[in-house]
Structure 1
């Protein structure tokens, strides 16, 4: 349905996010939060560095409970990721929305973002967003692979060896988790700065300005 805007233009509600994209987005958000918070509890039981995460930022209550939360969230994340991957390939979602990513475009859009001059159209990803989404997808794969090598270092010895050993795999897993947590912080900050992006991830639709012409 279109509504009049100003001379020569009109606004129209269009689909910007499919149902599958919206569902997998929110399931991913839930699974990631559960994995990070339970992972922090597991980390606290055997810290890699000279700090621990506060108890309020963890879930599970005790090591066994946190491990149960962690693996439940992991399988949810893996299953959801496979659905998203299949959908993205079948509908060409990746090609249309996340590719290509050129370094020159990323630098250009990053400069505009830092000076608060980056234009935004709901449902259209700029070069920085495309790069961040691709990076977080790769971090998700790295999280699962390194997590499996830590979980089954004997049965999956080849995978653990690929990471350079159990202790190295733990550090890789921690670094990937930190990367995902950083992505979540940036993502939430962008939502706060551009709040109109949130409703479209719930309803799937957003208003866009169409220039010229009248309704056919």
Structure 2
């Protein structure tokens, strides 16, 4: 026997799937902008240990000399990203979904247990409702990251008009560093998220498309007749 478990409302699925291509375009266009001035690297003294996106990276993907194109795409999709995020926050607030998404006092302990289970150190996963502790923390963090990207993006985009935002984010250069760091955070989140989706299987992915999961119910055992001993 199979039973249908309703999991994700239509609005949540729309916000999720709309946000994915938006963030992709934002990251791609951000790279076109970053090409014009890409100083960030990990360095000890005069020794460069790691350089983020060296010239060979931009040459391989043909991203050089496309600054104006990158800015045009970035600033248009910035508003779509903001509107989609604002509608998502309003929906989760008024629908009550925030109760299932925000971390609680058990979330960090559960997240550690989830990590141990994913690394095959712990045999059983901790019990959960709609989202486990790790998901609550991750989804809340990505929401805060989106707000941080908006603030630092405005500080970089209009440092004079939004001078108070630029000051709030530590100045133009600091805002740019934070904006870059948040972008790296999105990429890491995408990689981990996709790996987790693959690990969870088709049923979990289907729930974000159709809104429900199909679960197999355990087969009922036939009653056995009592034996009579002679």
Q: TM-score range by the shorter chain?
A: 0.7 to 0.9
Q: Which residue does the alignment assign to 1:47?
A: 38
- After superposition, the Cα gap between the structure-2 partners of 1:176 and 1:73, relative to the gap in structure 1 and judged at 3 Å, is same
Q: Which residue does the alignment assign to 1:127?
A: 133
4+ residue runs over 3 A deviation: 50-61, 116-123, 208-213
Q: Which residue does the alignment assign to 2:48?
A: none
TM-score (norm 2): 0.79
- After superposition, the Cα gap between the structure-2 partners of 1:77 and 1:84, relative to the gap in structure 1 and judged at 3 Å, is same
Shift of 1:194: 1.8
**Contiguous gaps of at least 5 residues in structure 1:** 5-10
Match of 1:143 among 145, 149, 158: 149
Shift of 1:121: 9.3
Identify which of structures 1 and 2 has the higher relative contact order when contacts are C-alpha pairs closer than 8 Å and 6+ apart.
1
Shift of 1:170: 0.5
Rounded Cα–Cα distance in structure 2 between residues aligned with 1:61 and 1:13: 52
Structure-to-structure mapping, 1:1-216, within 5 angstroms: 4=1, 11-49=2-40, 50=51, 51-52=53-54, 53-54=57-58, 62-100=66-104, 102-115=107-120, 117=123, 119=125, 124-196=130-202, 197-208=204-215
Larger gyration radius, structure 1 or structure 2 = 2
**Contiguous gaps of at least 5 residues in structure 2:** 41-50, 221-230
**Per-residue deviation, residues 81-104 of structure 1 (Å, max 9, x unmatched):** 111111101111110244425322
Tell me how large the CA RMSD over aligned residues is.
Answer: 2.7
- After superposition, the Cα gap between the structure-2 partners of 1:46 and 1:60, relative to the gap in structure 1 and judged at 3 Å, is closer
